[in-house]
Structure 1
Amino acid sequence: MKPDLIYEFGSFRLDPKERILWRNGQIVPLYPKAFDLLLVLVEKHGHVVDKDTLLRTVWPDTFVEESNLTVHVSALRKILGVDANGRRYIETVSKRGYRFVHEVKLIEPGESNEAGMLSPQHVDRSSPSAFTRPKNLRLFLSICALLSSALLIALYTRSARPLDPRADQPIRAIAILPFKTIGNSENDQYLSLGLADMLITRLGAIDQIAVRPTSAVSGYTAKGLDGIKIGRELGVDAILEGTLQRDGDRLRATIRLVRVADGRTLWTDSYDERFTDLFSVEDRISAHVLKSLRINIGNRAAVRLTRHATEKIEALQAYAKGRYFWSRRTTEGIKRGIEYFQQAVTVDPNFALAYVGLADCYNLFSLYGIAPPAESFAQAKTAITKALEIDDQLAEAHASLGYIKFRFDWDWAGAEQEFQRAIHLKPGYAAAHHWYGEYLAAMGRFDEALSELESAQELDPTSLAINTDIGEVFYYWHRYDQTIEACRKVLEIDPKFVRARFELGRAYEHKGMLPEAAEEFMTAMVINSGTASNPSANRHHALKWEALWRKRIDEEERATRSSSTGYTSGYTLAVEHLRLGEKEKALEWLEKAYRAHDPSVPFLGTDPAFDALHFDPRFDKLLRALGLDDAAREHM
Structure 2
Amino acid sequence: MPAAAYRFGPFELRPGEHILLKDGARVPLSPKAFDLLHLLVERRGALLEKQALLAAPWPDTFVEEANLSVQVAAIRKALQPDADGVIETVSKRGYRFTAPIEEVLPDQDESSQVVRLLVLPLRVLAPNLEAEFLSRSLPDAIASTLTAIPWLSVRAPFDLYGRRPQDGTSIAADADVVLEGSLGELSGQTCVMLRLLRAPSGVVLYTEQATVGPGTLHDLQGRVSRELARQLSSHFGRVEPAGSSSGGPATPGAYVLYLRANQLAYETSQWAAAQELYEAALREDPQYAPAWARLGRCHRVIAKFEAPATEAQDAFSRAEAALTRALALDPDLSLAHNLYAQLEVDLGRPEQAMLRLVSRLGAHPHAPDLFAGLVHVLRYCGLLDLSIAAHRCARALDATVPTSVHHTWWMKGDPERALGETFGDIGYMPGLALASLGRDREAVAALRWRERETTDTRVRCYLVSLRALLEGQRDESLEALQRLRVPVDAEARYYVARTYAALGEHDLAMEELTQVVDGGFLCHETFARDPWLSVLHADARFAPVVARARARSERAAVEFARAGGTTRLRA
For the criterion TM > 0.5, the same-fold answer is yes
> 1-side partners of 2:437 and 2:481: how far apart?
26
Q: Which amino acid in 1 is paired with 2:435?
A: E
Q: Which residue of 2 aligns with 1:196?
A: 139
Deviation at 1:371, TM superposition (A): 3.8
> 1-side partners of 2:405 and 2:435: how far apart?
18
Distance 1:363 1:544, change over 3 A: closer
Q: Is the 8 A contact 2:139 2:156 kept in 1?
A: no
Q: Which residue of 1 aligns with 2:564?
A: none
Tell me the alpha carbon deviations over residues 521-540 of structure 1, each in whole angstroms, 9 at most, x when there is no partner. Answer: 33333322469xx9x99999
Q: Over aligned residue pairs, what C-alpha RMSD do you find? A: 4.4
Q: Is the 8 A contact 1:241 1:255 kept in 2?
A: yes
Q: Which residue of 2 aligns with 1:368?
A: 305
How do residues 348-387 of structure 1 correspond to structure 2 at under 5 angstroms? 348-365=285-302, 367-368=304-305, 370-372=307-309, 373-387=312-326
> 2-side partners of 1:316 and 1:525: how far apart?
40
Deviation at 1:455, TM superposition (A): 3.3
Deviation at 1:592, TM superposition (A): 5.7
Pick which of 447-456 and 210-219 moved more: 210-219
How do residues 620-635 of structure 1 correspond to structure 2 at under 5 angstroms? 620-625=543-548, 630=553
> 2-side partners of 1:380 and 1:628: how far apart?
29
For the pair 1:449 / 2:387, whether they are aligned, the reply is yes
Q: 1:582 aligns with which of 505, 514, 534?
A: 505
Q: Which amino acid in 2 is paired with 1:265?
A: V
How do residues 241-320 of structure 1 correspond to structure 2 at under 5 angstroms? 241-245=180-184, 252-272=191-211, 276-293=215-232, 294=234, 301-304=241-244, 307-320=246-259
Q: Which amino acid in 1 is paired with 2:414?
A: R
Tell me the alpha carbon deviations over residues 459-481 of structure 1, each in whole angstroms, 9 at most, x when there is no partner. Answer: 55434x42xx1222211111222
How do residues 208-607 of structure 1 correspond to structure 2 at under 5 angstroms? 208-215=151-158, 229-232=169-172, 235-245=174-184, 252-272=191-211, 276-293=215-232, 294=234, 301-304=241-244, 307-328=246-267, 330=268, 332-365=269-302, 367-368=304-305, 370-372=307-309, 373-408=312-347, 410-463=348-401, 465-466=402-403, 469-487=404-422, 490=423, 497-499=424-426, 501-529=427-455, 545-548=470-473, 550-557=475-482, 560=485, 571-591=494-514, 597=519, 601-602=521-522, 606=526
> 1-side partners of 2:283 and 2:451: how far apart?
38
For the pair 1:207 / 2:150, whether they are aligned, the reply is yes
Q: Is the 8 A contact 2:493 2:512 kept in 1?
A: yes
Distance 1:453 1:341, change over 3 A: farther
Q: Which amino acid in 1 is paired with 2:339?
A: S
Q: Which amino acid in 2 is paired with 1:194?
A: S
Q: Which residue of 1 aligns with 2:53?
A: none
Tell me the alpha carbon deviations over residues 304-361 of structure 1, each in whole angstroms, 9 at most, x when there is no partner. Answer: 36x5343544444443444444434x4x244444334333333432222222222223
Q: Which amino acid in 2 is paired with 1:269?
A: E
Deviation at 1:9, TM superposition (A): 6.6
Q: Which amino acid in 2 is paired with 1:526?
A: R
Q: Is the 8 A contact 1:587 1:619 kept in 2?
A: yes
For the pair 1:180 / 2:160, whether they are aligned, the reply is no
Tell me the alpha carbon deviations over residues 498-556 of structure 1, each in whole angstroms, 9 at most, x when there is no partner. Answer: 52x3212222233333333333333333322469xx9x999999967253453032134
> 2-side partners of 1:477 and 1:459: how far apart?
24
> 2-side partners of 1:602 and 1:571: how far apart?
10
Distance 1:592 1:212, change over 3 A: closer
Q: Is the 8 A contact 2:415 2:434 kept in 1?
A: yes
How do residues 57-136 of structure 1 correspond to structure 2 at under 5 angstroms? 103=103
Deviation at 1:173, TM superposition (A): 1.0
Q: Which amino acid in 2 is paired with 1:368?
A: F
Q: Is the 8 A contact 2:407 2:418 kept in 1?
A: yes
Deviation at 1:203, TM superposition (A): 1.6
Q: Is the 8 A contact 1:395 1:423 kept in 2?
A: no
In structure 2, the residue corresponding to 1:486 is in which secondary structure? coil
Deviation at 1:369, TM superposition (A): 5.2
> 2-side partners of 1:434 and 1:507: how far apart?
21
Q: Which amino acid in 2 is paired with 1:516?
A: E
Q: Which amino acid in 2 is paired with 1:482?
A: R
Runs (5+) with no aligned partner, structure 2: 6-41, 44-101, 558-571
Deviation at 1:633, TM superposition (A): 13
Identity of aligned residues (%): 18
In structure 2, the residue corresponding to 1:242 is in which secondary structure? strand
Kindly indicate whether structure 1 or structure 2 has the higher relative contact order, using CA contacts under 8 Å at least 6 residues apart. 2
Runs (5+) with no aligned partner, structure 1: 1-6, 12-45, 48-101, 106-112, 117-165, 491-496
Q: Is the 8 A contact 1:314 1:347 kept in 2?
A: yes
Distance 1:346 1:205, change over 3 A: same
> 1-side partners of 2:337 and 2:360: how far apart?
5
Q: Is the 8 A contact 1:194 1:317 kept in 2?
A: no
Q: Is the 8 A contact 1:446 1:473 kept in 2?
A: yes
Deviation at 1:624, TM superposition (A): 4.6
Distance 1:381 1:200, change over 3 A: same
> 2-side partners of 1:374 and 1:430: how far apart?
31
Q: Is the 8 A contact 2:351 2:381 kept in 1?
A: no
> 2-side partners of 1:414 and 1:483: how far apart?
27
> 2-side partners of 1:540 and 1:443: how far apart?
26
Q: Which structure has the bigger radius of gyration?
A: 1
In structure 1, the residue corresponding to 2:149 is in which secondary structure? coil
Q: Which residue of 2 aligns with 1:34?
A: none
Q: Which amino acid in 1 is paired with 2:315?
A: S
Q: Which residue of 2 aligns with 1:66?
A: none
> 1-side partners of 2:324 and 2:466: how far apart?
46
In structure 2, the residue corresponding to 1:194 is in which secondary structure? helix
Deviation at 1:200, TM superposition (A): 0.7
Deviation at 1:365, TM superposition (A): 3.8
> 2-side partners of 1:528 and 1:317: how far apart?
33
Aligned residues: 449
In structure 1, the residue corresponding to 2:338 is in which secondary structure? helix
Deviation at 1:298, TM superposition (A): 5.6
Q: TM-score, normalised by structure 1?
A: 0.60
Distance 1:633 1:262, change over 3 A: closer
